[in-house]
Structure 1
């Protein structure tokens, strides 16, 4: 029964983590939050489900489904927060029930009973910090300081007012439609945290991802040491080689040892596979956000830069095409020039290929400064309050 529940949790967690990993993070997945989930998971199945509800239950059933969709995805709600606590609690429970009886073991000491609980406790603490900390809400009381801290680059950010909050919109900020507030240095809205990730809590968010990756690796290593200790204590290798006459080589023993482990310790093996999948997802997610932090860019800004550079590239290509057409028309009115070599013409790059767009991120002030800005946000420094007193 425990193994069946573990398989269900494994599939649910993998699905939910992949969704959170893809939704709103990569430029190739365009559209709203719901549309990206539809594309990755259902490939339109949800749309057919909505049509079925409308066909069978009428407009009242369709409106009820839209209400549930709005509550789950378009407004703050603690659903994913509860799922996170359930996942981490259930995983620790299965590990404790199935493996703590083997601690201490041949390769692992008894202290890991307590360090594992401490590791999970720190992870939950980082989760609470990220979920309930101020992401850097911009209001009428601090908007002048944020305007001074983040000047406009007049490329992807220009001077304008927030139509909802009715205050000037500082550069790098965004009005979150889910939380209904403007957030400084807005990165994205995280459903797992039920909170925006912005100027003041990006540090907690990065620590949360990194710590949970380390927890997964720690769990994999600890379980591997437990299983290795069971092999040693039960003398499995000795029995296979002496009593059954199996050749003492990795090629002959490995399949038999793996088969024995799957039969005797399948719960531990499943937990290790689950932790390995989650750790890979967390590693990719952390590296993506670490790259953004190193270059002092947010997820929201990466989308804006992608759109701007794509538009600028098309403009440059249009200008190059116009110049090429103009020069070719001018050559028709002149005497025919000597023909170029076919090889030279073949290897000559066209003017369209020579068009390049350079990303000029004025907020990128070097590796050390960028990391310092994430770890010690501008609004937590004394200079921020000095700007406040000056603005008064």
Structure 2
């Protein structure tokens, strides 16, 4: 395998991760009802042909608008009212709550998919025992054979028993996702790779991105990795501050000299993530000695306020090395200190467990 082929396979794996994360997020957003059974089906067209929806009892306005291009993914959803009282009143037996199907075809090849949610009831000591069964199958029904499969990806074990299925039509082929991916997804992969390479060269990283910036977690990892570990006496604190509010927040106080403060840190704009790195020279001693190690290193303080001065929050961070009586700790917090409360939180996103003990703090405002 040459470099170009290997690079394509790596990109394809990253693209699969993007698609998978997108499906997981869709499932979490989709699966919200407590009185509604929700079915989410992802259909993977792994063939070189456009497949057409020929028949279904899913609610679609126009069959022709449900075509799936080669090597692409589409989704369908269905809902059914779930009556908890009615389930509780059922005598032992089976009750079908979901019963759906579709047929996709391309020429002489056809895939028939169907699924049912059946709640089986049996006699218990005090009341019937309820057992949900998420039945599903995909099979070839055309004149020419077509490989089809279905997989239960997730489900609620408690009523109303919503579930998510993946249906694969055809066999996955290496390289096909990249060839048919959207330009937006390809750009996000290229951007993550280029960001990583750029930050290997430029360690003093700072910038801003909209909150909708794709692959933000990969970007954070790249920024943190770019800070290096060769100088064990310099601790880097990486800050990612996301302003989820509709207000501007201006920096009004800091323990960093104005000449050394990153310009991007001075203003947090609405719906934007600001990131910057602060370096501190720290002389770490052997853990057997406690004098120097007992103090806090890489202490940072930032105070921000809105234009009226009502919403004010303060960020503080530091690191304490390991001593014979104390484990090493990365301390961080963000507090609302204004007359009006602003929601804020901090998370230790990444750490270096050896000198220089660099760390990344993820801060959410609003």
TM-score with structure 1 setting the length: 0.20
Tell me which protein shows more strand as a share of its residues.
Answer: 2
- Name the structure, 1 or 2, with higher relative contact order (CA <8 Å, separation 6+): 1
